[in-house]
Every structure is written in C-alpha cells, then in structure tokens.
Structure 1
Amino acid sequence: MQPRRSRRLLLPAAALVALTVGLVACGGTSKDDATASGATSGGAAANANPNATLKTGVKMAFLPKQLNNPYSDIEVGGGKAALGDLKGEYKLVGPNDASASSQVSYINTLIQQQQDVIGIAANDPNAVCPSLKQATAAGIKIVAFDSDAAKDCRDVFINQATTQGIGEGLVKMTSDLVGGKGDIAILSATPNATNQNAWIDVMKTELAKPENSGMKLVKITYGNDDDQTSFQQAQGLLQSYPNLKAIVSPTTVGIAATARYVSSSSYKGKVAVTGLGTPNQMREYVKDGTVKQFALWNPADIGYLAAYAGVALASGQITGAEGETFTAGKLGKYTIGKDGEIVLGPPTVFDANNIDKFDF
C-alpha cells in the first residue's frame, strides 16, 4: 500500500512547501551561477526541453551510503523498479561502511564504465565532490538523493521532505512524548551525514525556542549507521544520563537498535524512543509499547523519484534549474526548487493505530 495516500502531516502545510537552502558548497561555480549563465554544474551550455522524449537504455548506477542497510535497500529498490518501467539499465554499487571517503573509488569506477547517470546518497558532501565533478566533466548526470552532495557537484537533489519540516517534526514528537520536559539525547548516523546534520541543526533551533525550554539536549552521539554500534551507543546514553527522558534517532538503523535495547531493559516505559524508521522494522516495538510514535516517508519513492529525475536529465527534459518540471510516473508532476532541490513530500507519523496499514 502506498503511504502517500494516508499521510498525517508533521507540521503546518505552509511549511511543507517551503524549499530548504542548499546545505553546503565545496567551492567553484554554484548552481545559481550556472543557471544564470545557461550552464549545467559541469559548465556545459544546456537548455531544458520539457517536451523531449524520455530515452530508453539510460544506464543509471545507484551508490547508497552503504550496502546491506535495510533503509537503503528499500530506496534503491524503488530506483530499480522505476528504471524497469523506463527501460533503463540499473546498477548498484557501494561500500560496506559509511565512512566519509568510502564512496570515492566507486564514483571513479562508474566514470570508467561510462554510466549515463549516478545516483548518490553522500556520506560526506565534500569528500565526494572532486570525483563527482570529474563525472560531470565526462558527461554523466548526478542525482543526489536522501543525503545531499555539495550543491555544485550534482545536478539535482531528491530530498525526503523539507529539512525544516523534518527537524520541527522530530522536536514535536519528542515534546509530545515527554510532556515538554526533560533531558533528551540524539543518536545520529555518521558525524558527516549531510541530512542528519541539517535536521539536527533545525532541532537545536527549535529546542532553543521558549515553548521548548523545558527540554534539554544533553548529548549527540553517533552509531555510524551500524546496528551494533548504535545499540552500544544507546546503552551508553542511558547509563551516562540517568535522567534521560527520550532518545531521538533520525536514522532507521539507530532507532531500531535503540528500541531493541530499551525493549528488553528496565528503561522500557520510562524512556521514550522516537525518530525516523520503517514500519516493518519498528512494528514489534510499537506493538510491545516500547515506541509510541515515529515518522518516515516511503524510502522506495525516493529511489523511484531519483531514477525518473536521472532519466529526465539524461534525456534533456530538465537541467536542474529552478522552476523546471517533469513527471515521475506514479508519483506525478514535480517542480525543481532552489539549488536543484526536489522535495518528495511530507512524512507520515506512525503509531499503534496505523502501523499495520503499511508494509515497507
């Protein structure tokens, strides 16, 4: 069942349509400068033809943060399905760890293999930048998805939802769970993850507001999107901060590991666990009362949208300039926003009342 039809918004509708500012840059010509001069991020003159026919046989490689990550597996599965519909060629490559530089060698190999499009969820926005620029110079289109690369190193970025909306939603869920008072901690993925850091920055801003003054962020820790490391980090947080009221994990690996630890400990029912997770991995913890609510979008839709954007770029329908539009199959029509950002849509809040309606 597609969860896009059953979403409960995390924030007012006006905020959902606001596009976020580019997160980081790694020098050189910016996307805005390129657009103004009629050039792509690689510096070659280009004009979009919205009526161009989508090419078949487009070779698109997906490079997630790491392989064998349940969340990433769902994402790239959506990309594979879309490329099947588009009669393209799907390829999956990636590291087994989510370190900052682990993706660079794969980008270099994909350049040698003459891929048409690279879809990347960047572990570090700047570490991958030089190699992505080399790919662009070789005529390869770059679609960042889930976790952005520096904005002048890719053509478009597929964002799950607005950065502001996700950060606000995480704070609101946490406040609801702890009654607006108490010590809280964040268990993130890697220290350099673009999306995680952007959401956490918004959370810090929200927590500084008077209405959230009763909550205190005592620690941000990192599980490196590894299950056992995240499990140990959750255990360490609870032992180090005896007054902790909630652990917020904006990563699917972290929230599942935290819930697993809390569910079999004396903290169950005393410490709230929330963040971003998939219904299938969190269902048992919702059913046993460990987790009251969490949120996410459909990860498969991110990969699906990334594939359609990649083929649209390769076909000349879009260049990544603000205001361009394209149709992404079953997901409908999308408009490219500032800095080449394409926002999938608002996340869904999952709880005991609706979790069985979703299967992903």
Structure 2
Amino acid sequence: MRKSSLRRACATLAAVSSLALAATACGGTTKEDVKNDGAGPAASAGKADPGAALKKGLTVGFLPKQVNNPYFTTADKGGEKALAELGSAYKEVGPSSATDTSGQVSYVNTLTQQQVDAIAVSAQDPGALCTALKQAMGNGIKVVTYDSDTTPQCRNAFVSQASAEDLGRTEVQLLAQQIGYRGEIAVLSAAQTATNQNTWIGYMKEELKDPKYKDVKLVKIAYGNDDAQQSFQQTQGLLQEYPDLKGIISPTTVGIKAAAQYLSGSKYKGKVKLTGLGTPNDMRKYVKNGTVDAFELWDPAKLGDLAARTAVALSSGQITGKEGESFQAGGTTYSIGKDGVISLGKPTVFDAENIDRFNF
C-alpha cells in the first residue's frame, strides 16, 4: 500500500515540452482505431462516486510516444495547464524516439517506482506496455491512455481524439460545402488494409446516402500507402482519370500533404477542392496560397487537457472507467463508452482564420 509521505516526496513538477507527431502520432493518418477485443477496461476498486471532491496535490506522469515532438508538446502542455488549474503536479518522461518501445516500458516502471498517482500514456506498442501498466495499476496507480490506446485490461480509460463516425462524416460535410454539394469526388486513403481508414471511409459512404448529397458522386478510392511519393502520384492519376473531379478527401496526414503539394503546382489549384485530416504545420502554406480552404484534425492541447482531467477524476474516485459513468471536465460533461473509451468530441476545423494559432 502506498504511503502518502512517499507520494509527496516524489511529487515533483517537471515542466517540459514533448511528444510525438509525425504520421503515427496523428492518429488521423496511420494510427489504428481502438481494437475491441470484447473485454472491458481494468476494473478499479470500489464504486464511482460522482459527487466526490477532486483531490489536490496529486502527481500525474505524462508518457508520450516521443518527447520534443511538436504534436505531443502541444498535447502535454494542455495536460500540464489542466493539472495546474486542478492543484496537482505534472511530470513528463519519455523516449526521444517514436519507436523505442522498450524505453516506454522502462519509463512506466520508473513512474511506478516513483509512486505517482496516475499515468497518462500514448502507447507505442499496446502489447509490450501491458505488463508494465498492469503492474502500475497493481500499485494503485490510475492509468489513462490518450492518442494511442493499449488493450482495455491494461488501463482504466482511453481518451480518444474523436469517434470514427465523427471523423468520417465531418470530412464529407466539409468537402460538400466547398464544392457546393455538386460534382465528382474521390478519396485518397492510406493502405487498402488500414482498419481506421476503412472505418472512416465506411462512414463517409453512409453520410453520402443523405439526400442532400444527391448530386455528389464518389467515383474512386485511391491508396497512397501513407507514402508521400505514392500519394503524390495517386493524386495526379485521379485527376487524369477524372478530369471533372471537383474534390478529394484524404483522411491521412501524409496523403493530404502530398495531394496539396501536387495541386498547388498544377492547373487544378483552387479548382479541385481538397480536405481531410492534416496538421497545421504541414498544411499552413497550402491554406495561405489558396490550394486548400479548410481541413480538420483534433486539437492536441484539448486532448492532453482531457487526459489530465480524466486521470484526476479516476484518482479522486469520481469515475472508475466503467461504461455509462460520466464526469465534469473543464465545464463539459463526458460519458464513458464501451471499453472505457472517452471521446474528445468533433474534430477541429483549420482554415486561414485560425491556422496560425496552432503549432504542431
């Protein structure tokens, strides 16, 4: 059983910038959706008490996929700010490489030894982390995953960037507005076998069944395999095959950047609309030069904020991570879904008016 004196001794603030972007961190591109293995989240002792007061003086350790990556720096600073507001301490540790799985395991073990109250982790390898996270929970530490999940039994809750349905439907809505709800459109996806991409595309097709899209026709789904050169070539091929194409949706950060690069240097610039999932730093110049009107993703600062607030709510006993529980976080009520998943909400739309406010 953990002693409060040890907890206080180890409750050191580590103000840092962190984490990892690139294609993998931007779940909108290569990250897989949460896998439903039929098992619920790790059980927490006792029952949830929604009326319990939020504890102060806690220490929450943030473990990104990679420190000093703009995406995770933004996310974790969101968590740091939330914890300061809640009267608790923020601590960040993590590997310098986004593929250092063993490093993430060692950091979980270190945080466990330091007796932090909660860990918020973006998992590089769900299977590899599981044993270490279970050991942390066995020591009374609450575990929240964010951005990239592990299996439900190895954490108390997962803070998801957005639901698959929201991501799929809103991309169609965004493009349809840009083309005036009329014309041929195509999708430039990642790999043909990518589970998350196919799920989002499924919801795109469902959205297109709405009568308001009766004059919008999906003519092709192309695959760039999250490779910049292949995605560039696929964009070129789509426009050669469908000269009347009005718009392209690319639900991958690699694909949308490559498509924007092609369009910006072609006669189609400003004529063929492009949207999808991208990062402000990748897409800023294409928004400013008129190639792209608007695209979307989620705000990683809000993701980190919710991960921190979820960790504190778990540590305070307001929630245990079970489906159907709800809690207040930053003035918003969040409900816990199946397998302990908490959805941040609808994606953030980036355009010329707001893109310079973001750096990731």
Query: What value does the CA root-mean-square deviation take over the aligned residues?
Result: 3.6
* 3-state DSSP of counterpart to 1:118: strand
- Cα distance in 2 for residues equivalent to 1:79 and 1:309: 10
Counterpart for residue 335 of structure 1:
335
Q: Could you tell me which of 100, 108, 111 is aligned with 1:110?
A: 108
Structure possessing the higher radius of gyration over alpha carbons: 2
CA contact (8 A) 2:188 2:255 kept: no
Structure 1 residues 107 and 124: CA distance shift in structure 2, 3 A: closer
* 3-state DSSP of counterpart to 2:345: coil
**CA shift for structure 1 position 243:** 2.8
**CA shift for structure 1 position 303:** 0.4
**CA shift for structure 1 position 42:** 3.8
Unpaired segments of 5 or more residues in structure 1?
A: 1-21, 32-40, 224-228
Letter paired with 1:158: V
- Cα distance in 1 for residues equivalent to 2:350 and 2:250: 15
CA contact (8 A) 2:156 2:320 kept: yes
Letter paired with 1:301: K
Counterpart for residue 255 of structure 1:
256
* 3-state DSSP of counterpart to 1:113: helix
Question: Within the alignment, does 1:268 sit opposite 2:269 as a pair?
Answer: yes
CA contact (8 A) 2:93 2:107 kept: no
CA contact (8 A) 1:182 1:243 kept: no
* 3-state DSSP of counterpart to 2:92: strand
Letter paired with 2:153: D
CA deviation vs aligned residue, 1:17-73 (integer Å, no higher than 9, x gap): xxxxx942347xx22xxxxxxxxx445532223343433443323333444543333
- Cα distance in 2 for residues equivalent to 1:71 and 1:47: 35
CA contact (8 A) 1:59 1:89 kept: yes
Structure 1 residues 104 and 324: CA distance shift in structure 2, 3 A: farther
Letter paired with 1:295: E
CA contact (8 A) 1:50 1:326 kept: yes
Identity of aligned residues (%): 42
CA deviation vs aligned residue, 1:68-87 (integer Å, no higher than 9, x gap): 54333321221121223232
More displaced 10-residue stretch of structure 1: 257-266 or 73-82: 257-266
Matches within 5 A, 1:64-143: 64-85=64-85, 86-94=87-95, 96-97=97-98, 102-103=100-101, 105-114=103-112, 115-123=116-124, 125-126=126-127, 128-143=129-144
CA contact (8 A) 2:119 2:142 kept: yes
Structure 1 residues 154 and 221: CA distance shift in structure 2, 3 A: farther
CA contact (8 A) 2:188 2:251 kept: no
Q: Could you tell me which of 212, 215, 220 is aligned with 2:218?
A: 215
CA deviation vs aligned residue, 1:311-341 (integer Å, no higher than 9, x gap): 2212222111233333323x43333333322
Structure 1 residues 332 and 187: CA distance shift in structure 2, 3 A: same
Counterpart for residue 159 of structure 1:
160
Counterpart for residue 344 of structure 1:
344
**CA shift for structure 1 position 307:** 0.3
More displaced 10-residue stretch of structure 1: 69-78 or 258-267: 258-267
Letter paired with 1:338: K
Counterpart for residue 185 of structure 1:
188
Structure 1 residues 350 and 152: CA distance shift in structure 2, 3 A: same
Counterpart for residue 30 of structure 2:
none
Figure out how many residues of one structure are paired with residues of the other and give that number: 315
Structure 1 residues 104 and 196: CA distance shift in structure 2, 3 A: farther
Matches within 5 A, 1:29-40: 30-31=39-40
CA contact (8 A) 1:160 1:297 kept: yes
Structure 1 residues 221 and 357: CA distance shift in structure 2, 3 A: closer
CA deviation vs aligned residue, 1:261-312 (integer Å, no higher than 9, x gap): 5424555335432112355653432231110221233221110011011122
Unpaired segments of 5 or more residues in structure 2?
A: 1-32
Counterpart for residue 36 of structure 1:
none
- Cα distance in 2 for residues equivalent to 1:119 and 1:333: 20
TM-score by length of 2: 0.71
CA contact (8 A) 2:81 2:305 kept: yes
**CA shift for structure 1 position 186:** 1.7
Structure 1 residues 80 and 332: CA distance shift in structure 2, 3 A: same
CA contact (8 A) 1:187 1:247 kept: no
Counterpart for residue 290 of structure 2:
289
- Cα distance in 1 for residues equivalent to 2:129 and 2:208: 32
- Cα distance in 2 for residues equivalent to 1:155 and 1:75: 20
Letter paired with 1:202: Y
Question: Within the alignment, does 1:52 sit opposite 2:20 as a pair?
Answer: no
CA contact (8 A) 1:191 1:222 kept: no
CA deviation vs aligned residue, 1:59-116 (integer Å, no higher than 9, x gap): 323333444543333212211212232321321414533x5xx445413431243143
- Cα distance in 1 for residues equivalent to 2:78 and 2:254: 19
Q: Could you tell me which of 229, 234, 237 is aligned with 1:237?
A: 234
